[in-house]
Amino acid sequence: MSTIPTTSAHEQLGPAESAPQAELARRCLYYMSLMRETEDRIERKLYRQGKVLGGVYVGRGQEAIPVGTALHSLPEDVLLPSHRDMAVFFIRGIPLGRIFAQYMGRVGGLTNGRDGNMHMGDMSAGLVSIISALAATVPVAAGVALALQYRGTNGVAFSYFGDGSTSRGDWHEGVNMATVLKLPVVFVCNNNQYAYSTPLSGQMACTHVADRGPAYGMPAEIVDGNDVFAVYEATGRAVAHARAGLGPYLLECKTFRMTGHSAHDAAEYVPPALFDEWAKRDPIVRLEEKAIEHGWSDQAAIDAVHAQVRQEVDAAVAWADEQPFPDPATLFGNVYDGE
């Protein structure tokens, strides 16, 4: 097997507190650009070519949330990303080629064709896979945190979900479990204002997801989810709270789903003005403007990051496309241990 193309900026995990803002901006730009390019390639090219089948759910416009949060994770932390949090996988060091192979149903994907799209995980990288019933990972995150605490580690569980997930019983049971048992969980909501076709007003009668925090005795804050620096700073507070043994913390990152629910959904139910309005708040553009304004970067350096990302994605797609489809004989095995 040829070398699996990976991400160039895969580096030591950990907060960049000591790093200058310029370095943080560079890392954020790299991961956000990589997520945008990867998902564009999947949704707008491979899916249309028929090389990616089934459901495709992207986080276009939401990249600041997985990046700004996961950059705080330490190796011993465990993350439970949802389906619009692709960058979490990059930050935890999953090779890009394996992610494309996963989407293409090939050997070498994280599930070797047994599952598709964002239904992937790798405990050795501290990543738990979602299942389709979203919010199911919320009580699981509580259990992960329980284990981290049980072992006396300083680890934190990062539990990701959308606004729609907060309607489900599992969300409430998981959050309540974490608060009652005072477990180290950082709950990260990407409130992108639509759950499939249902707007927030059809999902909950309170104004903010964060309103739910105090009902469980949990601190909660509202964050501009399209400002990666704001997300990063807020996550720092949340993680410090959880690591200090003070229990869970809820971050509601306000954003907007700049696509349909999935690749087959034209999202005609979303007023076009909302897309226009939120397009002006694109998190990548905002990051670039801020970086130039503060002198952390310049246009040439920014262009170089995007060019590098495109090259990495090209290589990863080419690698994935060379991987075989699974042998039908691999239908069996590993249903149970030792098979």
Partner 1 sequence: MPTTYLEAIREGLWEEMERDPNVFLIGEDIGIYGGAFKVTAGFIEHFGGRRVVDTPISESGIVGAAIGAGLMGLRPVAEMQFADFISCGFDQIVNFAAKCRYRWNAAVPMVVRAPSGGGIHGGPFHSQNPEMWFVKVPGLKVVCPSTAYDAKGLIKSAVRDNDPVIFFEHKALYRRIKEDLPTEEFTVPIGKARIARTGRDLSVITYGAMVWVALEAAEILAGEGIEMEVVDLRSLLPLDRDTVCESVKKTSKALLLHEDTRTAGMAGELAVTITEGVFEHLDAPIVRVTAPDTPVPFSPPLEEAFLPNTAKVIEKARWLHRY
Establish whether 261 is a catalytic residue. Answer: yes
Residues that bind partner 1 (CB under 8 A): 78, 110-111, 114-115, 119-123, 128-129, 131-133, 136, 138-148, 150-151, 157, 169-170, 173-174, 176-177, 180-181, 334-338
CB of 217 to partner 1, least distance (A): 12
SS (H, E, C) the chain: CCCCCCCCCCCCCCCCCCCCHHHHHHHHHHHHHHHHHHHHHHHHHHCCCCCCCCCCCCCCCCCHHHHHHHCCCCCCCEEECCCCCCHHHHHCCCCHHHHHHHHCCCECECCCCCCCCCCCCEHHHCECCCCCCCCCHHHHHHHHHHHHHHCCCCCCEEEEEECHHHHCHHHHHHHHHHHHCCCCEEEEEEECCEECCEEHHHCCCCCCHHHHHHHCCCCEEEEECCCHHHHHHHHHHHHHHHHCCCCCEEEEEECCCCCCCCCCCCCCCCCHHHHHHHHCCCHHHHHHHHHHHCCCCCHHHHHHHHHHHHHHHHHHHHHHHHCCCCCHHHHCCCCCCCC
CB of 153 to partner 1, least distance (A): 10
Establish whether 83 is a catalytic residue. Answer: no
Q: Of 3 and 124, which CB lies nearer to partner 1 in the complex structure? A: 124
CB of 141 to partner 1, least distance (A): 6
CB of 191 to partner 1, least distance (A): 22
CB of 84 to partner 1, least distance (A): 19
Q: Of 182 and 237, which CB lies nearer to partner 1 in the complex structure? A: 182
Establish whether 72 is a catalytic residue. Answer: no
Q: Of 112 and 191, which CB lies nearer to partner 1 in the complex structure? A: 112
Please list the active-site residues.
257, 261, 269
